Amino acid sequence: MPTKKDKSPAQPTNWKNGFEADKFADAYGIGLICGQISRGLECLDFDNHFGDARKIMHRYLEIPEVKEIYQHHRLPIESTMSGGFHLLFRCDKNEGNRKLALRLSPENRPEAIIETRGEGGYFVASPTPGYSVIRNDIFSIATISEIERAILIDNAASLNEWTTPIKTEYENNDRPGDLYNRSTDATGQTISLLKESGWTEVTPDKWRRPGKKEGISATFGKVAPNVFYVFSSNAYPFDSNKAYLPFQVLALLKFNGDFKAAAESLPKPEKTVVERNARINESELEKILSGAAIDVKTPIEKPPTILYIRETDGATSSLFKRLFTLGNFSCIIGKAKSKKTFFLTMVTAAVLRSKSYDEKLKGDLPFNKRTVLYFDTEQGDYDAYNTIKRIELQSGTTENLKAFKLRQFSPVERCQIIEYAFRKWGEETGFCVIDGIADLSNGINDEDEATRVSTMLLRLTKVYNCHICTVIHQNKNDNFATGHLGSAVTKKAEIIISVLKDGSDRAQSEVNCDNSRGVDFDPFTFRINGDGLPEIIAKKSSTKSNYFENYTEKDTDFSPLNDELPF
């Protein structure tokens, strides 16, 4: 059909039946009508609202079962004027337009990142200006089976990043269902319950419904922590395109949808809310005491050092001193905009590549603990991406790096996400970054919250024998870490490192060892070079960099949109 420049039909009414050739004479572009009139034509539309449609398309086509269908049928792909993509196919089964995958925008509005154009819909196509067929033949669109179509649709839906679970009356205001959803047992019990009910865990976050031999039907923990998101229309007792919290999964699978019975099966609120008042029986205390005993006759090996710092020893020689060790955590402190995160990228890069960074920092992860976890709790998508890109440019690799942005979640949810990540990768993890630790607490001056967060750090480093590096701000009027949380964290840290702004050259920052259980180190200085990357310098420079007269931390753009597609 003929279209206008704004992509609307040139003939506003009765367009669904098609047009004769003479109607295209004055058209700006061409639209392809989907559904029966085009022998089952359907379009998977990858929108570019967030500027990463190419990356999403890449991830989608790298899913093995999607890749197999795409390559076997040589399905056409075209690029759109907005930087998005269309993947085209035909099928005897054809539905109307559907939004398959959503993402929350900075304006807190859900936007489609993948949607379909089916029966009753259309899409603008090549040779409309701005549209181009980039793979295979648009005049030879294959007809695929209903099973193959379901695989394409379900895998697109599995990339959904947003949904809003609807809570029941038993999940509000610290009622039993709400407490259960927040408990540390909810994730494991939900996984066990799904498996007992015939669901198959395809990957740690993708699930296949009972009775289905291939493909996926739901995700768990992908759109939000502890949320079971179902997109299959045959997954009774779950509805399609709906999110379920652990308590709801429990009620539906174990109590046949009786939410009252499910709530009554859970511990009473007064027994679960105030954990500090819970008593441990004597037999359990005896076990704990026995396991915690210190036996001087049994030697304990010195914890492995995973990061060293090079110090000058005299005029000509130098040596590497211990900085971070396994089983401990460290704390980086500094005023706002002191370039704490820049220093953190140098540390992470050194750990990742297990060799010296600018001959100052040297990583040494054990061979069986090479995974590095990185959690950014405060930056937006753009700045979080740039931070990880800096690490890649400095280290030359992100092969063992798993990075996550947690800005949109609550403090308790962030802790649950981090705990879940350790359950997945903790045994192979040697180093973890939490930038910044204050965002895990409901109040930096709440003593109970400070105890909860610092205890979590102690537990994770002990259980998984890793090192966690945290970041916290200093008070404006002194050099102490902020609040009760800052005090609790710094008291228990292996080492406290401060990053100070250089008053004479804003391109430079000084790094100091404020306190350490290991070996102290001399202050050193780093600066941000013209490429936006930190580099260590032997001593302060008196010459300012012109690059920094207009520089901010958000200026550097490492956009991936020019990378070649893999398809």
List pLDDT tens digits, range 171-205. Answer: 877 788 888 888 877 888 999 999 999 999 988 78
Query: By C-alpha distance, which of 8, 30, 21 is closest to 86?
Result: 30
Please give the pLDDT value at position 170: 86
- Give exposure, 56-92, as e/b (b: 16+ Cβ within 10 Å): bbbebbebeebeebbeebebbbbbbeebbbbbbbbbe
Residue 541 half-sphere exposure, CB side, CA atoms within 13 Å? 15
**pLDDT exceeds 80 at position 268:** no
List pLDDT tens digits, range 106-124. Answer: 777 889 999 999 999 999 9
Query: By C-alpha distance, which of 544, 553, 509 is closest to 527?
Result: 509
**pLDDT exceeds 70 at position 303:** yes
**pLDDT exceeds 50 at position 551:** no
Region 531-550 average pLDDT: 54
Residue 418 exposed, middle or buried by CB count within 10 Å (0-12, 13-18, 19+) = buried
What is the CA 81 to chain-centroid distance, rounded?
Answer: 29
Region 412-417 average pLDDT: 90
Out of 22-36, 115-129, 469-483, the most confident range is 115-129
Using CA atoms, how far apart are residues 175 and 164, in angstroms rounded to an integer? 19
Using CA atoms, how far apart are residues 87 and 461, in angstroms rounded to an integer? 46
State the average pLDDT for the chain: 84
Using CA atoms, how far apart are residues 507 and 516, in angstroms rounded to an integer? 27
The 3-state DSSP class for residue 42 equals strand
**pLDDT exceeds 70 at position 440:** yes
List pLDDT tens digits, range 459-473. Answer: 999 999 999 999 988
- C-beta of residue 488 within 8 angstroms of C-beta of residue 450: yes
Residue 7's identity, in one-letter code, is K
Using CA atoms, how far apart are residues 45 and 124, in angstroms rounded to an integer? 11
Region 328-354 average pLDDT: 89
If you search the block for the tokens 């205390």, which residue do you land on? 285
Residue 524's identity, in one-letter code, is F
> What does pTM read for this prediction?
0.50
Using CA atoms, how far apart are residues 35 and 41, in angstroms rounded to an integer? 5
The bridge status of strand 495-501 relative to strand 329-334 is parallel
Using CA atoms, how far apart are residues 282 and 299, in angstroms rounded to an integer? 29
pLDDT band at residue 146, thresholds of 50, 70 and 90? Answer: very high
**pLDDT exceeds 60 at position 39:** yes
Please give the pLDDT value at position 549: 32
User: Phi and psi of 537, rounded to 5°?
Assistant: -120, 155
Using CA atoms, how far apart are residues 298 and 28, in angstroms rounded to an integer? 82
- C-beta of residue 50 within 8 angstroms of C-beta of residue 56: no
Out of 60-69, 355-364, 414-423, 508-517, pick the least confident.
355-364
**pLDDT exceeds 70 at position 42:** yes
Out of 29-33, 242-246, 405-409, 466-470, pick the least confident.
405-409
> How long a stretch of residues is the chain?
567
Using CA atoms, how far apart are residues 321 and 305, in angstroms rounded to an integer? 9
Residue 103 half-sphere exposure, CB side, CA atoms within 13 Å? 15
**pLDDT exceeds 60 at position 302:** yes
pLDDT band at residue 320, thresholds of 50, 70 and 90? Answer: confident
Region 439-458 average pLDDT: 87
Please give the pLDDT value at position 269: 52
The bridge status of strand 534-537 relative to strand 305-313 is unpaired
The bridge status of strand 329-334 relative to strand 467-473 is parallel
Using CA atoms, how far apart are residues 60 and 101, in angstroms rounded to an integer? 12
